Amino acid sequence: MNSKFFDIKKEKQDRIINAALKIFAMQGYRHGSTDDIVREAAISKGLLFHYFGSKVGLYGFVYDYSVRFMNLELRSTVSARETDLFALVKQIECARMHAMKGYPYMQQFLNRSLSEDCYEALLSTEEKRNALGETYASIDSQIDYAALPGGVDGEKLRKMLDFTIKGLMTERFQDASFQPEMLYEEICGYLDMVRQIVYR
């Protein structure tokens, strides 16, 4: 992590992080412009390069920051004793909601990073690339698929829930009045509906 960057005021740190998350989430690494990031953050380009050295330095930093932040939220929100699929997914989404309150584009950025194909961006995130995946895999290993009714393919159901949640998130981000709490409530509504169908 960049120690110089953490010497500046928290409000300014968050402004820079949020600007980078937004631009990289919406445009990807290749098309994400540092000009757009400094405009969004209301800082000079010189200041951005003073702290991060380059565009790839900034990308690697916000990726590392996002992985650390999301891992902390997941570990503090998701119960290690929970085994119910729907309860665990709700806890995961609760953790994401907490993260998005301070960093609205963090989850979109992390989603986008999964399909990133630019070599220098991939290289800058190589060391941290598995850290978040391992946390999610650990949570998924808690799921008791045997508790689902006979004939229900738990793996397919899990994947269907993921697609639904990503779709809802993408749809809500197109709305300028996006609120993490409202997205969480909507996701919970879908989870409750699917649960009723599964256990009918």
At 82-93, the pLDDT tens digits run 999 999 999 999
Q: CB of 111 within 8 A of CB of 173?
A: no
Domain residue spans of the chain: 5-198
In the predicted structure, residue 2 carries a pLDDT above the cut 90: no
Say if residues 37 and 23 touch (Cβ distance below 8 Å).
Answer: yes
Nearest to 32 by CA among 94, 96, 120: 120
CA distances from 58 to 41, 48, 181 (A): 13, 8, 29
Which range scores top for mean pLDDT: 41-50, 84-93, 145-154?
84-93
Domain 5-198 class in CATH: mainly alpha
SS3 of residue 4 by DSSP: coil
Q: Mean of the per-residue pLDDT values for the chain?
A: 92
Rounded Cα distance between 117 and 184, Å, is 30
> In a 10 Å sphere around its CB, with 0-12 CB exposed, 13-18 middle and 19+ buried, how is residue 93 labelled?
buried
Q: How confident is the model at residue 172 (pLDDT cuts 50, 70, 90)?
A: confident
Task: Pull the structure tokens for residue 86.
Answer: 């729907």
Contact 26, 107 (CB under 8 A): no
Q: For 12-33, what is the mean pLDDT?
A: 94
Structure tokens at 54: 């380059």
pTM for the predicted model, two decimal places: 0.90
1 — pLDDT class (breaks 50, 70, 90): low
- 94-107 confidence digits (pLDDT tens): 999 999 999 999 99
